[in-house]
Amino acid sequence: MFGVSGTGDTSGYGRLVRPVTLPDSTSRPYGGYFDEVADNLAAALRPHGIDFAEAVERAVVFRDQLTLHVRREYLPRVARLLRDEPDLRFELCLGVSGVHYPEQTDRELHAVYPLLSITHGRRIRLEVSVPDSDPHLPSLCGVYPTNDWHERETYDFFGLVFDGHPSLTRIEMPDDWTGHPQRKDYPLGGIPVEYQGAQIAPPDERRAYR
C-alpha cells in the first residue's frame, strides 16, 4: 500500500488505491453465542410490538464478531434492551466510531458501537447507516452516558449529528473549523516541501479510495 518510489512523493501516499469489499449478511446459524443474543433481542423487542427484522436491517458475522445493523429510529430502544435485559446485559458501550463510505449512495456515513457484556463475557457491535444529506441519528448518551465525548468526537471528525446530545460541539477542532477532517472527501491541504534541494509538490488534495 505504501512505500511508493520514483515519483518524488515523500508522503507515502502515492495515489493509494485499495478496494474495500464489505461482508454481506450472514445466514443462520451465526455460531457461538451470536444466535442466542439475536434470539434474546428478538424476544425482548416483541412485547414492544417490534419485529427483529424491522429494527435490525441485517446481521453480519465477520472475523468472529457479530454486527447488528440497526435502523436509526430503533437505535435507543435496541441499545436499552441490550443493556437492561438479564439475558443480554451489555452494560458497557466502548464509545462510537464514525466511518465514511462515499460510494454507498444514501448510506455514506456509518456509526459503529462496540458493546461489552461484563455479566456474560460477550462482545457484539451495533452499526447505523445514514445518508450524507441527512446525517442525523439519536444520541445514546441517555443509555450509555460515557458516550458523551465519543459522540462529540464523531460529530467533529465525520459530521454525524447525534440528536438529543446534551452539548454537541466540536471537541478537538476549533469551533469555527470548516468541514470534518476524517471524511474521505476532506482536502488533504498538502504544501510543497523542499527536500535535499529539490522542490517536492504536495500530494493530491483529495483522497480517493476506490
The pLDDT tens digits of the residues spanning 42-86 come to 999 999 999 999 999 999 999 999 999 999 999 999 999 999 999
Please indicate, yes or no, if residue 145 is contained in any of the structural domains: no
Torsions phi, psi for 42 (to 5 deg): -60, -40
Q: Is residue 120 part of a domain?
A: yes
Query: Which is it for strands 136-138 and 122-130: parallel, antiparallel or unpaired?
Result: unpaired
Count of structural domains, the chain: 1
Lowest model confidence (mean pLDDT) among 1-5, 154-158, 170-174: 1-5
Q: What is the pLDDT of residue 187?
A: 72
**pLDDT of 208 over the 60 cut:** no
Q: How far is CA 129 from CA 14, 58, 60, 72, in A?
A: 30, 12, 14, 7
What whole-number distance in Å separates Cα of residue 111 and Cα of residue 109?
A: 7
pLDDT recorded at residue 17: 60
Question: How far apart are the C-alpha atoms of 77 and 58, rounded to whole Å?
Answer: 17
The pLDDT of residue 203: 59
**CA separation for the pair 41, 38 (Å, rounded):** 5
The model's pTM = 0.83
Tens-digit pLDDT profile for residues 15-48: 556 677 888 999 999 999 999 999 999 999 999 9
Q: Which residue has the cell 440497526?
A: 70
Please indicate, yes or no, if residue 169 is contained in any of the structural domains. no
| Residue 109 falls inside a structural domain | yes
Residue 164 φ then ψ, to 5°: 95, -5
Residue 178 maps to a domain: no
DSSP 8-state symbol, 132: T
The parent domain of residue 101 ranges over: 34-128+184-200
Instruction: Compute the radius of gyration of the chain from its Cα atoms.
Output: 20
Domain CATH code at residue 49: 3.30.460.80
d(CA 44, CA 50): 9
Task: Tell me, yes or no, whether 179 lies in a domain.
Answer: no
In a domain, 163, yes or no: no
Phi-psi region at 137: left, alpha or beta (left = phi > 0; alpha = psi -120 to 50): beta
Residue 104 corresponds to which cell in the numbers above?
454507498
pLDDT at 1: 44
Cα–Cα distance measured from residue 152 to residue 164, given in angstroms and rounded to the nearest whole number: 12
- Asked if pLDDT for residue 209 goes beyond 70, the answer is no
Please tell me the predicted confidence (pLDDT) of residue 33: 97
Q: Which residue has the higher pLDDT, 52 or 4?
A: 52
Pair type for strands 109-117 and 97-100: antiparallel
Asked if the structure places residue 13 within a domain, the reply is no
Residue 206 pLDDT greater than 50, yes or no = no
pLDDT tens digit sequence for 91-146: 999 999 999 999 999 999 999 999 999 999 999 999 999 999 999 999 999 999 99
Please list, residue by residue across 58-79, b when 16 or more beta carbons sit within 10 angstroms of its beta carbon and e when fewer do: ebbbeeeebbbbbeeebbbbbb
